[in-house]
Amino acid sequence: MSIASTAPAPGGAGEPAPQGRTATFRPEVQGLRALAVLMVVTYHVWLGRVSGGVDIFLLISAFLLTLSFVRKVEAGKPLNLIRHWLHLFKRLLPAAVVVLLGILACTWLILPQSRWPDVLDQAWASLLYRQNWLLADTAVDYYAQDHAGASPLQHFWSLSIQGQVFILWPLVFAGSALVWQWLRRRGKASYRLVLMAAFSAIFLASLAFSIEQTATNQAYAYFDTRTRLWEFALGSLLALVLPYVKPGKALRLVLGWAGLTAMVSCGLVLTVDRSFPGFIALWPTLAAAAIVIAGQSGSRFGVDRLLSWKPLVALGDNSYALYLWHWPVLVLALAATGIEAPGLGQGLAVVAASTILAVLTTRFVEKPLREWHWPQKRSWRTAVVIAACCGVLAGPVAVWQTTLTAEEAAAAAQPRELTPGAASLAPENAGKPTPEARIIPAPAAMKDEWADIDGLCTDANVPSDPLLAGCLQNTKPETVTKRIVVLGDSHAQQYMAALGPIAKEHGWEVVTLLKGSCRFGAESPDRNAECNAFNKASAAYVMEHRPDAVFTVASLTHAEAPFETEVPGYLDGIRPFTEAGMDVVGVRDNPRFSINMPECVQKHGPDAPECNAPLNESLAESSPLDSYRGQVDGLHLMDLSDFICAGGTCPAVVGNIYVYKDDNHLTKTYVQSMIPMFEERLLAATGWT
C-alpha cells in the first residue's frame, strides 16, 4: 500500500508556502493519508490481511497530481515535464534508498543465504520501479499469513505502480493541453473537459480490463499496472469535478462519516485479498472520494475535524516513510525471532520501531533533501542527486550479486566424488564418512532446483482439454521404445530429475500432466473441485492416448501427524489404466517438514538436531504402499525412502548435497544423485529392460 507523496510540499499540490505548506493545503487530505497508513500497518501487523488502503493511496496521489497540473496549465505556466520528473524522483528516491540499504543490511544479518538472491533481485526491481511486474511474474501470494517467510521488499510493488503512473500521467496532461490548444483555435474549449474525456476513457478501459483479469488471473492482476489505472483516473476525475460539487453542510457530514466508516471496514467486510483490484475496489476508492468531497464541513461534528487533528496531520507528513519501514520491520522481526505472527506487545514494538525510523528518515533524509537549494537551480544538478542515490544502492547490490555468483560457481565446480549425495547411503558406502566439501547446490542456486522438463507437448501429445494446457514433455527420442505419462503434482515432477535422464537413455517418451498440490487419484471429497476436475481430465487423456505406463506418487506425506497416509482414491484412480493393459508405477512420497530444511542448515549447521528429523516423525512406520500390494494387477511399487532417510533420521543434507529445496520438495541435484538407484529399482519393480 504505497503512500508516495506526489506534490512539492507534503500533502500539498502547489509551490511551498513560507511555512512549508501550500496555499491550497488541505489538512483533512493529509489526515486521510495518515489514517490510511494506520489501517495498512494495523491490518498487516495484527490481522494478517490487506486493508484496501493501497487503492485509497493511488486515488489520493492522482488527485493531488491533477490539481497541480491543472493549475499550471490554466495559469499559462509551462509544464516542463523533464524538470517535474526529476524533481519528483529526487523527493521519492532518497528515503526509498535509505530503507533499501537498511533492508539489505538486515538481510545479511538475519535471513538465510538461500533468500539473498531474491532480495537482491527485488532491490533492483524496487530501485527501477518495476517490483510489481517482478512479483506478478513470480505469482507471489501477497496475502500469505506467514509474514516471516515473505520478502522484506514485497511492499515496494505499489510504489512501482505509482512511479510508472507518475511518468505516464504528465504525458496525459501534456497531450490533453495540445488537444485543448488545437480545439481552442477552432472555438471554445475547456482544458478540464479535455482531461475529463481522457481520464474517463482510461477509467472505463482499465476498469473493464481489471474486472476481466481479476476474474481469470487475480494473482497476476493484483500487481498489474493496467488493472490499477482506473483508480488513478478516478482520483483525477475527482480533482476535475470537485470545484463544481458543492454539497450542503448536512450532506458533507453524511458523506464524511459514511466514507470513513466504509473505508475503515473495507478490509474486514470484503475479501480484499482474493477479489481486488476488480470492481470491488470501488468500495474503498469511492469511500475516500466521499471524504474528499465532504471536505471542510464547517461543523465541529464533521469528519474533517478528526482528519485535521494535528497529530494525525503530523503522521501524514511521515506517512511515506512509515509505509516504507513498517513492512520490512515486521518481516525481519518475525524472521529473527522465529515467531509466525506478533502478539499485541510484539506488534506494538514493530509499530513503534517503524514510527521512530519513519520520523528519523523524514527529518534527516527526506526533508533536508527536499529543502536543499543547490539541485533546484539546474535540472542537471537534480539528475546528479538522483544518479548518486541510485549509485549508493546499485554498488553494494552489484558487488553482493557478483560474490554470490562466484560462490555458486565454486560449489558447482567441485569434483563429483566430494558430493556423492544419495550414493553415500548405498550399502557399499555404509559407515564411510563424507569428505569435506561445500554443500551443493549453493544457496544462490536453490531457486533453480526444480526438475527440468524440456517443453510443451507437441503433435499428437497436445491435449484437447484446456484444463491440461500445461502439458509438458521431454524431447521425443528418434526411436520410441516406451511411452510414459506422469500424473500428479510437484512431488511427481521432482522425480523427473531421475526419470527424465533414464528415459532418454532407454528411448522412452515421457509426457507430464501436473497440477500443484493435486495428487492423482479418483474423485474424492478430500480434494477441491479444481483438482478433481484436473484428475478427471488427466485420466481421460491417458485412456485416449494409451501409453505403455503411468508414473505416480502413491502415498501422501504430511508435516504433522499422521505423517504419511494413502492417497485418497488412489487405487480407484489407477485401476482403469491397469485394466486397459497399462503398467502403473507408484513411488513412495518423501517427508514433509514444518520448517524450511536448507534454511535450517544455513542457520544452525547440517548436524543440528532440528535439521535432522526423526524418521518416525517423517514417514509412517508401515508404508502405505504395503496395503496396495496384490490389489491391482499391473501396479508396480517403488520405495526410495532408504536413500532419503537413514539411521533413524531424515537429514537435510546427505553426502554434501541438500536433500530438500524447501520444506517438502527434493532438490534436482539430490534426485540426480539417486539416478543409479532409481533406475535399478524401477527396472526391478516393472521388469522393463
Question: What tens digit of pLDDT does each residue of 519-573 get?
Answer: 999 999 999 999 999 999 999 999 999 999 999 999 999 999 999 999 999 999 9
88 contacts: CB under 8 Å, gap ≥ 6: 6, 166
Query: Please, which pLDDT band fits residue 17 given cuts at 50, 70 and 90?
Result: very low
Higher pLDDT, 21 or 212: 212
**pLDDT above 70 as % of the chain:** 94
Lowest-confidence region among 74-78, 166-170, 227-231, 654-658: 74-78
**pLDDT for 34 beyond 80:** yes
pLDDT of residue 659: 98
**pLDDT for 2 beyond 80:** no
Contact between residue 452 and residue 496 where contact means Cβ atoms under 8 Å apart: yes
Phi, psi of 674 (to 5 degrees): -95, 0
Cα 13 to Cα 6, 10, 24, 72, 132: the distances in Å are 8, 8, 7, 11, 27
pLDDT of residue 139: 65
pLDDT of residue 479: 92
Residue 165: count other Cβ atoms within 10 Å of its Cβ: 23
Cell numbers that stand for 403 in this block: 560474490
Cell numbers that stand for 536 in this block: 478427471
Contact between residue 589 and residue 491 where contact means Cβ atoms under 8 Å apart: yes
Lowest-confidence region among 226-235, 440-449, 581-590: 440-449
pTM value is 0.86
Parallel, antiparallel, or unpaired for β 482-488 and 508-514?
Answer: parallel
pLDDT of residue 377: 81
**pLDDT for 383 beyond 80:** yes
Question: What tens digit of pLDDT does each residue of 267-280 get?
Answer: 777 766 677 888 88
Average pLDDT, the chain: 90
**66: Cα within 13 Å, side-chain hemisphere:** 26
Question: What tens digit of pLDDT does each residue of 199-212 get?
Answer: 999 999 999 999 99
**pLDDT for 18 beyond 80:** no
Cell numbers that stand for 528 in this block: 477441491
pLDDT of residue 208: 96
pLDDT of residue 526: 93
How far apart are alpha carbons 511 and 551 in whole angstroms?
10
Query: Please, which pLDDT band fits residue 302 given cuts at 50, 70 and 90?
Result: confident
Question: What tens digit of pLDDT does each residue of 101-123 get?
Answer: 999 999 999 999 999 999 999 99
Residue 566, SS3 per DSSP: strand
**Vertex 605 angle, CA 604 and 608, to 5°:** 75
Lowest-confidence region among 219-223, 389-393, 540-544: 219-223
How far apart are alpha carbons 671 and 643 in whole angstroms?
10
**pLDDT for 7 beyond 50:** no
Cα dihedral: 185, 188, 194, 200 (round 10): -150
Give the dihedral sign, CA 353/358/359/364: positive
Cα dihedral: 621, 623, 626, 632 (round 10): 160
Query: Please, which pLDDT band fits residue 138 given cuts at 50, 70 and 90?
Result: confident
Question: What tens digit of pLDDT does each residue of 627-666 get?
Answer: 999 999 999 999 999 999 988 999 999 999 999 999 999 9
pLDDT of residue 137: 87
How far apart are alpha carbons 171 and 176 in whole angstroms?
8
DSSP code string of 178-211: HHHHHHHTTS---HHHHHHHHHHHHHHHHHHHHH
Burial of 429 per CB tally in 10 Å (0-12, 13-18, 19+): middle
